[in-house]
Amino acid sequence: MDQTDEIESLLSRTALGDRQAFSQLYDRTSGKLFGVAMRVLRDKSTAEDVLQESYIKIWRYAERFAAGGGVSPMGWMVTIARNTAIDRLRAGRDADDIDEMSDRLADRGPTPEQVAEAAGEAGRISTCLSQLDDPRDKAVRGAYLEGLSYAELAEKFSVPLNTVRTWLRRSLISLRECMDQ
Partner 1 sequence: MSPTADPAKDDSLLAAEYVLRLLRPREERAFERRLLEDHRLAQQVAGWTARFSGMNAEIAEITPPRSAKKGLQTRLFGKVEEAVPLWRRLGLWQGLSFASVALAAFFAMQIVQMPGQTPPQAQDDRGALFLSEVAAEDQSLRVLAVYDSAAGRLQITRTAGAAAPGRVLELWAIAGENAPVSLGVLPETGKGGVILPEGLRAQVAGLTLAISDEPPGGSPTGAPTGAVLAVGQVTRL
Q: Which is nearer to partner 1, 5 or 60 (CB)?
A: 60
Are the CB atoms for 150 and 175 separated by under 8 Å? Answer: no
Binding residues for partner 1, total number by CB under 8 A: 70
CB of 112 to partner 1, least distance (A): 12
Q: Please give the Cα distance from 80 to 86 (Å, whole number).
A: 10
Site pattern 80..109 for partner 1 (x: CB under 8 A): ---x--x------x---x--xx--xx--xx
Are the CB atoms for 165 and 150 separated by under 8 Å? Answer: yes
Count of Cβ atoms closer than 10 Å to residue 150 Cβ: 15
Number of H helices, E strands in the chain: 9, 0
Q: Is 159 in the site for partner 1 (CB under 8 A)?
A: no
CA torsion sign, 118 to 120 to 121 to 126?
A: positive
- Cβ-based neighbours of 140, under 8 Å, separated by 6 or more: 129, 132, 168, 171, 172, 175
Q: Looking at 3, 16, 42, 161, which residue binds partner 1 (CB under 8 A)? A: 16
Region near partner 1 per CB under 8 A, out of 1-9, 10-18, 155-163: 10-18
Q: Looking at 12, 24, 43, 74, which residue binds partner 1 (CB under 8 A)? A: 74
DSSP assignments along 80-117, one per residue: HHHHHHHHHHTTTS-HHHHHHHHHHHHHTPPPHHHHHH
Under DSSP, is residue 110 helix (H, G, I), strand (E, B) or coil?
A: coil
Binders of partner 1 among residues 23 to 52 (CB under 8 A) are: 23, 26, 30-32, 34-36, 38-39, 44, 47-48, 51-52
Q: Which is nearer to partner 1, 32 or 163 (CB)?
A: 32
Q: Which residues bind partner 1 (CB under 8 A)?
A: 15-17, 19, 23, 26, 30-32, 34-36, 38-39, 44, 47-48, 51-52, 55-56, 59-60, 63, 70-72, 74-75, 78-79, 83, 86, 93, 97, 100-101, 104-105, 108-110, 114-115, 118-119, 121-126, 129, 140-141, 143-145, 147, 149-150, 168-170, 172-173, 175-177, 179
